[in-house]
Structure 1
Amino acid sequence: MPAYRFTLSVLLAVFAHLQTQAASLDTSGLKSCGETTAVGAIGGARFATPEGTIVKLALVKAPELWKKGDPYKSWPYAEEAKAALIAATKGQTLHLFCEGKEFNSQGEQVAHVIMPDGSWLQHAMVAKGHVFVFPRPTRRRGLDMLYAAEDEARAVRAGLWALRNLQPVPADSDVQTGWFNIVQGTVLSAQRVGSTIYLNFGADWRRDFTVEIPSTAETHFRKQDIDPLAFEGQFVEVRGWIDYKAGPRLLVQGPGQIRLKSQPAKSQ
């Protein structure tokens, strides 16, 4: 009976996952940034256009892809994510919609990409496990949909989620610095020091994992009626780049990087 329940649960998860493969985005109020085609992918979340523009898919991040001779090594699944983006966009007319600033500091056009059938490219890439959800403070349209799709992809280990070294890590583990990571844990304390809020995940903030929320980021939390200090005692998941500042630190830019999660059951 336990084996049957496990098999049934997996089948139900796969069925639910398949239902999330195509979804549309409400583009009302967004700026139409034109139509284009893709002439090549630059990793799993960027593509080049015939006009010479690099389009960055809003709200998502692909495993980083580096060329031979570059100072860094490509991440696992980077080539697969690139191939998936090429397959999804090849020969398609792509409708671009912009939210917030149209171009980032690298001169890339940041856009939601709508396919000819009305489906949202970002959602498809997330649902199939090709990219991570990674929001920015001024771009949130459809974020809940993307996180729901990511949760389904993680449940069935689709795409990159089948790889152990791309899984979320516990906050009380040896959190790797110099790397994009998804970290889960209970916020033991939330403190304001000057104009900065710190979410501490360990008893010793000089050594343990910490989330730092500067005043510029807190503004975005307040706009959404979120008090970062209320995360104390909560089990959360946070994502972003980990650096070192008296222990591993994640500097948050906006509320989309933190979400409440159910604490996983402890293995017997």
Structure 2
Amino acid sequence: MRPAKDYHPPMSLGAGLRFCVAAGLAVGLSCVQVRAAGLPARPASACAGTTGPDRLLSLTPEGDLVLSAGGAARLAEIRLPDSGPARPEAEAWLKTLVDRPLLVTTGPERDRWGRLPVRIRIPDPAGGTDAAEALVESGLAMVDPGTGETLCRPELLALEETARERNLGLWADALYKPLDANRIDRLQDRFGTFVLVEGRVKSVGERRQRVYLNFGGHWAEDFTIIIPKRTWKTMTDRGATAASLEGRRIRVRGILEPWQGAAITVVVPEMIERLDNARPSR
């Protein structure tokens, strides 16, 4: 999400939970106990926003929000399941917020569909509930920074990991379980969809404009992660190197592309998670 400059979310949901981020890829960190405050700083402009009271008027058939003051909006840094039993459950949860007083933090600009990225907090005597955190924690949404180049709240990955391990919500559906990077046939069946893919990096190719993480011996036929040089610089600034990635088992998320065998382009470093000491996804 894009929190307001003076808004600091409580750490009760995400603090101390286990999660893996690209910042630790090169220094031997895999799944470790960290707090959000210990992560590399996010660009202030990308995560800044304006916070104020608002109300949810309705939910569109596509799952978008219609706010009284903000108009068309979407919950930032998460996505609802496209189908399956968890989809109507997620929509039903969001509809319980209609006409309730909410504290809404809006992002700096609308997306190409005219939606404001927002973070919603539901006030209550205990300090309030963050809508995105509640949905992810219940397995009713997954982490997705969308078109942004920054994940402002990497602690959401910890909540998602716990929900996935417990097979909650969408994670009980085989459609959303991480795919095997070596099963190129299954990957090709999912072109154009948002997926999680797990596998071991066989080689790393550094070129002038991009870096390629190859998962097979025939890069033109197998799965590849494409990292633009701008994103690669962010990763190397955090300590990642080609040598530190080769041979590592990782998880990546994004839209599957029909490039060579199959590929995912990553512009947000946290979309690559190291899994060396984690249990394989079921």
- TM-score scaled by structure 1? 0.76
Q: How far does residue 111 in structure 1 lie from its aligned partner after superposition?
A: 1.8
Question: Deviation of residue 58 (structure 1)?
Answer: 1.3
1:196 counterpart residue number:
210
Q: What is the aligned-residue RMSD (CA, Å)?
A: 3.0
How far did 1:82 drift?
A: 1.4
Residue 84 of structure 1 corresponds to 93
SS at match of 1:152: helix
Q: What is the rounded CA distance, in whole Å, between the counterparts of 1:229 and 1:55 in structure 2?
A: 42
1:43–1:125 distance in 2 versus 1, CA, 3 Å: farther
Note the alpha carbon deviations across 1:42-68, whole angstroms, 9 max, x for none.
36863111346112111111123xxxx
In structure 2, the CA distance between the partners of 1:75 and 1:249, relative to structure 1 (3 Å rule), is: farther
| Contact 1:221 1:254 (8 Å CA) reproduced | no
Deviations 1:85-108 (A, max 9, x none): 212x23322222245x33222221
The SS at the match of 1:212 is strand
CA separation of 1:228 and 1:258: change in aligned 2, threshold 3 A: farther
Q: CA deviation at 1:263?
A: 4.8
Q: What is the CA-CA distance between 1:182 and the residue it aligns to?
A: 0.3
CA spacing shift, 1:266–1:223, aligned 2, 3 Å:
closer
**1:96 counterpart residue number:** 104
Structure 2 residue aligned with 1:14? none
* 1-structure distance, mates of 2:157, 2:13: 11
Alpha carbons 1:97, 1:111 under 8 Å: kept: yes
The residue that corresponds to 1:213 in the other structure is 227
**Which whole-Å deviations, capped at 9, do the CAs of 1:96-123 have from their partners, x for residues lacking one?**
2245x33222221112212113221110
Q: Using CA pairs under 8 Å that are at least 6 residues apart, name the structure with larger relative contact order, 1 or 2.
A: 2
Identical-pair percentage: 26
| 1:244 correspondence with 2:258 | yes
The whole-number CA distance in structure 1 between the counterparts of 2:150 and 2:109 is 11
What secondary structure, in the 3-state scheme, does the structure 1 residue paired with 2:100 have?
A: coil
Give the SS at the match of 1:90: coil
> Is the contact made by 1:205 and 1:246 (CA closer than 8 Å) also made in structure 2?
yes
TM-score (norm 2): 0.73
1:119-153: CA deviation from partner (whole Å, max 9, x where unpaired): 21110010001100112554433312x11111111
Which runs of 5 or more residues in structure 1 are unaligned?
Answer: 1-18, 65-73
- Tell me the distance in 2 between the aligned counterparts of 1:43 and 1:220: 37
Q: What SS class does the counterpart of residue 142 from structure 1 fall into?
A: coil
- Structure 2 equivalent of residue 105 of structure 1: 112
State the 1:228 CA deviation.
5.9
1:233 aligns with 2:244: no
Structure 2, unmatched stretches of 5+, are 1-11, 16-35, 38-43
Aligned residues of 1:34 and 1:97 also touching (Cα < 8 A): yes
The alignment status of 1:141 with 2:152, answered yes or no, reads: yes
Name the structure 2 match of 1:46: 64
Counterpart residue number, 2:54: 36
Rate the CA distance shift 1:39–1:224 in 2: closer, same or farther, 3 A: farther
Q: Is the 8 A contact 1:102 1:111 kept in 2?
A: no
* Secondary structure of residue in 1 paired with 2:160: helix
Native 8 Å contact 2:149 2:267 kept in 1 = no
Aligned residue in 2 for 1:9: none
1:169 is the counterpart of 2:183: no
Cα distance in 2 for residues equivalent to 1:153 and 1:208: 30
For residues 247 and 83 of structure 1, do their structure 2 counterparts lie closer, same or farther at Cα, with a shift above 3 Å needed? same
Letter in 1 for 2:112: S
Where does residue 60 of structure 1 map in the other structure?
Answer: 78
1:238–1:258 Cα contact (<8 Å) kept: yes
Counterpart residue number, 1:4 = none
- Whole-Å Cα distance in 1 between the matches of residues 109 and 101 of structure 2? 19
Report the equivalent of 1:183: 197
Amino acid at match of 2:206: R
1:24-59 CA-partner distances (Å, limit 9, x unpaired): x99x98432432111222368631113461121111
The answer to whether the 8 Å contact 1:21/1:124 transfers is no
